[in-house]
Amino acid sequence: MKRVVIQSRRRYRGATVVAAVAALVVPIAATRSEAAPLVSYASATTTAAPAGALATVVVKMASPAVHAADVIGGLSAAAPEAAPQGRYLLRVPASQVPGVLARLRADPQVAYAEVPQPVKATVTPNNPCYVSECNADGTVANQAYLNVIGAPAAWNVTHGTGVIVAVLDSGVDATHPDLDGADGGGDKIAGNINICIDDDPLCAGLGDPLGHGTHVTGILAADTDNGIGVASLGWGVNVIMYKVLDSQGNGNTFDVATAIYDAVEAHVRVISMSLACSYYAPTTGQYDPALCQPDPDEGAAVEYALAHNVVVVAAAGNDGLNEQTYPASYPGVLSVAATNNNGVVQSFSQWGPAANIAAPGLNIVSTWPAGLCSPGPPPCYQVLSGTSMSTPQVAAAAALMIANDPTLSGPQITEILESTARPTSGGDSIDGGLLDVPAALAAEAHPPHEFNGYEVIGSDGNVYPGGSVLALGTLAGIHLNRPVVGMALSDAGTGYWLDASDGGVFAFGAAGFFGSTGGIRLNKPVVGMAATADGEGYWLVAADGGIFTFGDAGFFGSTGGIRLNQPIVGMAATPDGRGYWLVASDGGIFTFGDAGFFGSTGGIRLNQPIVGMAATPDGRGYWLVAADGGIFTFGDARFYGSTGGIRLAKPVVGMAATPDGGGYWLAASDGGIFTFGDARFWGSASGEATAPIVGVSS
């Protein structure tokens, strides 16, 4: 199959728009390989206790010489049941299980005491292409790639049922037996929308004359265990198809952006795009990577999706270059490279910083439109290769994660998929690893604040999440006595506090309320806050450096009553919560408790005043940020860049450091976010903020 990147042009509202996206497949012949068989497992059955009444504890003695009755006698509501190899089953009230386990585990005569964990049979889908081999348009093929990414183990956790993924492609043959639900498996196509019909004569109808969109959709969500054709990682996932590519595989960024906005309004949680900018130069007839530049309209749509908690996945490109492509290279997008089934990055795939995760993309068999069948009759299947084929696997993985834990944010899912990917095993290196779906599902139990992200805060108390925690509540629409001036996150990122200039404190999520200065007459307004290390208390700081402590926050001193050259504008707590720094608008630093002094800009002429600070994770350094985005580093704080010297639309109002201290975010008063070091972009409040932004927290 030829690679379709034909250039086209059209006019929209008087402006010339150059076709800038194309389907991503490469012409590589199919190869044969055996899919690894699965082993079914079933547990032995036991007589169940009445639901909710009793729980089972299994106990093994440390030695056969131990008299079990001496150890477990009286612990069980019924006589213990002997089991093979010196084990016993105890039936105890569920409420007593923790105490019984603690007692048994503390006894040296007990080898272990556990509550049995549930197991279930491993399901092997009966789709021929998955079980063994199948004929795909004259090519013998199988689906060994599903074992490479851990699909069998992932299916034991979830099938992804109920999650809808938006696919932006060339359309879909919704009548395909692996997609139409006619076998009772349920229609996999939840929507079919033609976006490009109004501006491209080659984009008529809802079908798929190219085949690319149908192939991608099958990889993502083909009906699994229906006895025909192929299985998909997204066993129970549904798809809304947004047709943005024509019969030649061409499209434009306006239609892509429109489809993204429509998908967000349809409340999808994942967007999958197996397409990329086409850098074909009509004047030379050659491909020029320099022509592949970010498009403001498309980029704004991607940012909008990220800000609305959507996981955005896109193909890295098939040019075999260490060159960025779009939409894959917009900040926050999962850019997918292609490997073979051994984890080797393929020569046709983009590599380096152009890709931050990979999945198999060589000789992938999937659904194919009836109108393109050759030589046999429908249902049709085809073998294709490319980053287009890798992308829907990552999108399906994201959908499975959402089904398993709907509370996770889009940025958290992206972070988990990247952090759990295992290393690729050859070819050109990428800035990421090979998709590992079971590992990603297992990692969902981690506390949310382990992930790289931020919260942007408006003076009206509106909160704009950028990945570290979910938006657990806001003050937007509530009449406030004074504007919000700051925020602090709880220790696990499961809650946060907002504070107003009168010292009013508002707690959300798991963050507890420990008191405030609301209603107390203050000498100077409150300008910020910081939380203790365990999240059981917080400090408020006023413009004169007065400190107010609540919960387990200790008082270590203040500048209240001291004549200051400039007002205090912020504070940061030490990692152990036994001290804090205060910073003034001239960059003067005041240390209390175990906070060390590492330098300041006090006495230095600044272009713009200091507006905030952030401490390094070990407490041995800190950054200061000025209103023009200038960064000043002290102690072990490293310089990763700044906006100093750049003309900004609005002043910078605050900063936050990444959890590992390898980067930082700056926030401007209009909600714009600037990233440096390992800080990733997860969206902004620009254009969405209902009041001036006052800070950013992480």
Mean pLDDT of 601-624: 91
Q: pLDDT category, 280, cuts 50, 70, 90?
A: low
pLDDT digits (tens, 9 = 90+) for 370-387: 989 877 788 999 999 999
Say how far apart CA 415 and CA 429 lie, in whole Å: 19
pLDDT at residue 494 in the model:
67
Query: What integer is the mean pLDDT of 631-652?
Result: 90
CB atoms within 10 A of CB 2: 9
Weakest-pLDDT range from 11-25, 65-79, 201-215, 310-324: 11-25
CA distance 571 to 574: 10
Residue 665 banded pLDDT, cuts 50, 70, 90: very high
Instruction: Report pLDDT for 119.
Output: 55
What pLDDT score was predicted for residue 91? 87
For 107-138, give the DSSP string.
-TTEEEEEPPPP--PPP----HHHHS-EEETT
pLDDT band (50, 70, 90) for residue 200: confident
Cβ atoms of 326 and 293 within 8 Å: the answer is yes
Look at residue 36 and tell me whether its pLDDT is greater than 50.
Answer: no
Average predicted confidence (pLDDT) for the chain: 84
| pLDDT tier for residue 95 given thresholds of 50, 70 and 90 | confident
- DSSP-based three-state secondary structure for 493: coil
Query: Is the pLDDT at 20 greater than 60, yes or no?
Result: no
The Cα 134–Cα 175 span in angstroms is 20
pLDDT confidence tier of residue 178, bands split at 50, 70 and 90: very high
Give the number of other Cβ atoms within 10 Å of residue 83's Cβ: 14
Residue 261 confidence class, pLDDT cut points 50, 70, 90:
very high
Specify the pLDDT at position 562: 84
pLDDT at 439: 93
Catalytic center residues: 169, 212, 388
Q: How far apart are CA 68 and CA 86, in angstroms?
A: 9
Task: Give Cβ neighbours of residue 427 (< 8 Å, ≥ 6 apart).
Answer: 339, 344, 345, 346, 347, 349, 351
pLDDT at position 98: 86
Task: Please count the other Cβ atoms lying within 10 Å of the Cβ belonging to residue 256.
Answer: 28
Asked whether residue 4 carries a pLDDT value surpassing 60, the answer given is: no
What pLDDT is stored for residue 470 in this prediction?
A: 55
- Closest alpha carbon to 528 in 450, 588, 472, 580: 580
pLDDT at 44: 26
pLDDT at position 689 is 81
How far is 295 from 102, CA to CA, in rounded Å? 60
Contact 111, 62 (CB under 8 A): yes
φ/ψ region of 392 (left if φ > 0, alpha if ψ in -120 to 50, else beta) reads: alpha
Distance CA 480, CA 459 (A): 10
Rounded Cα distance, 369 and 195, in Å = 20
Q: Tell me the mean pLDDT in the region 151-159.
A: 94
Mean pLDDT along residues 658-681: 89
Average pLDDT over residues 116-139: 78
Task: Write down the pLDDT at residue 33.
Answer: 29
CB 348 within 8 A of CB 385: yes
According to the model, what pLDDT value does residue 646 have? Answer: 82
Q: Which amino acid is at 126?
A: N
Q: 656 near 698, Cβ under 8 Å?
A: yes
pLDDT digits (tens, 9 = 90+) for 385-402: 999 999 999 999 999 999
The residue written with tokens 């290393």 in the block is 423
- Rounded-to-integer distance, Cα 328 and Cα 314, Å: 5
**Percent of the chain residues topping a pLDDT of 90:** 49
Asked whether residue 363 carries a pLDDT value surpassing 90, the answer given is: yes
Q: Report the percent of the chain where pLDDT is more than 70.
A: 87
- 653 or 678, which is more confident: 653
Domains of the chain are 9-23+129-443 (3.40.50.200), 448-697 (2.130.10.10)
Task: Provide the pLDDT confidence category of residue 143 given band limits of 50, 70 and 90.
Answer: very high
**pLDDT at res. 38:** 23
Name the pLDDT band for 441 (thresholds 50, 70, 90). Answer: very high
pLDDT of residue 644 exceeding 60: yes
> Looking at the predicted structure, is the pLDDT value of residue 518 above 90?
no
Cβ neighbours of residue 360 closer than 8 Å, sequence gap 6 or more = 145, 148, 149, 338, 339, 340, 341, 389, 390, 393
User: Which whole number is the average pLDDT over 510-521?
Assistant: 86
Confidence of residue 519 (pLDDT cuts 50, 70, 90): confident
pLDDT band at 46 (very low <50, low <70, confident <90, very high): very low
pLDDT by residue (tens digit) across 66-94? 888 888 877 876 788 888 878 888 888 88
Residue with tokens 């299947």: 381
Q: Between β-strands 495-500 and 505-509, what pairing exists: parallel, antiparallel or unpaired?
A: antiparallel
Kindly tell me if the per-residue pLDDT of 406 is higher than 60.
Answer: yes
